[in-house]
Structure formats: C-alpha cells, structure tokens
Amino acid sequence: MGVVTKLFEKANLTAQTRVVVCGPPVMFRFVVAGLDALSISRENIYVDLERRMKCGIGKCGHCQINDKYVCADGPVFSYAQVQDMEEAP
C-alpha cells in the first residue's frame, strides 16, 4: 500500500514524458504536483474526467464542465485544458 507518487522515484521520467492519470480526482492534484517537480509540462499530463454521462452525445448537459462536454469532448483532457475549471480536478 502506498501512494502513486512514490512510484515516480522508480520510473525514468523526463521533461518529455507523457503521463496519463486515471483515478479519483483528489489524486490528480498530488500527481500533478509531483510531475511539476519533475518539470513535466501540463500539456503532457492527461487526466480522465469520469463523469456520469446520461446521453453520451453532449445533448443533456449532465457531464458539462464549463464549455466542455466530457462525453463528447473527452473524457481524456490535457491537464492544461482543465486546470482552471472549477469543477475539474
């Protein structure tokens, strides 16, 4: 048991590394902070925004965060795209 950021020490991460983060949104801020410390660009960090989607085509608005529809525009976004969205991680 432990936290995923402890694995950064064992991985060969460079500033050019692309990272995909999937998990609970509370984890994202810790992972991104750890990747920031390794000088990995937020454009190279991708997060999976798991939202309950009713229609799956962007019509109902249930999964909307600001101007993005998670079901139609995602569900994977670069962290740079969502870092300032209030409801996103």
pLDDT of residue 75: 92
pLDDT of residue 1: 62
pLDDT tens-digit profile, the chain (89 residues): 678 888 888 898 999 999 999 988 888 989 999 999 999 999 999 999 887 788 888 899 999 988 899 999 999 999 999 999 877 66
In whole angstroms, give the CA distance from residue 30 to residue 5.
7
- The full set of domain ranges for the chain reads 4-82
pTM of the model: 0.86
Given the structure tokens 């692309």, which residue do they identify?
A: 18
